[in-house]
Structure formats: C-alpha cells, structure tokens
Amino acid sequence: MKQKMTWEEMKKAYPDEWLLITDYKLDQFGRVASGVVERHSKDDQEVFQPPAPNKSCAFEYTGEYQFPGGLRAHADHNHF
C-alpha cells in the first residue's frame, strides 16, 4: 500500500518530477499539502498517460516553474 506523504517529503523524494497524487489535502494557497503519490516521473507523458485513477487526483510539479512569459521573454527571444 502506498504511503501518504507531505509536500516537502514529495519534493525531497522526487525532485524536478511530475506527480499524480490522490487522497490529497490542500494548503491555504491551494497547493497540495499531503497525499499519496500514485505516479511520478521526469517525463510528463508518463504521468499524464491515460487512464487516470478512478478517483479525484492532482497533478503537481516539484521543480521550479520555468514559464517564459511576458513581454520581456518575447523581447529576449526576438533579440529586441
């Protein structure tokens, strides 16, 4: 049986990985505070592979967000 973990434990056990988590609880910011990790991988396609478990689940990433958004990113990309 898979064990319930805190978000800090998940980050330590699965750094820079995508997670599929069930039986989760959320913190004040709506982030997963604890839950059961059903799938984990650095390859998002492995975690998002259907079918999902037949229960509510959360998808989380333990690494730093790298979204290159905003006008600055657009300017950098186009060397303005």
**Count of CA atoms in the C-beta half-sphere (13 A) of 9:** 10
Residues 33-72 binding another protein (CB under 8 A) are 43-45, 48-52, 54-61, 63-71
Residue count at the site for another protein (CB under 8 A)? 37
**In residues, how long is the chain?**
80
Nearer to another protein, 3 or 45 (CB): 45
Nearer to another protein, 13 or 75 (CB): 75
Phi, psi at 21, each rounded to 5°: -120, 135
Distances (CA, A) of 14 to 54, 60, 74: 23, 11, 32
Is residue 77 a contact point for another protein (CB under 8 A)?
Answer: yes
Contact between 19 and 11 (Cβ < 8 Å): no
Residues of the shown chain interacting with another protein in the complex, contacts defined by CB under 8 A: 18, 24, 26, 28-32, 43-45, 48-52, 54-61, 63-71, 73-74, 77-78
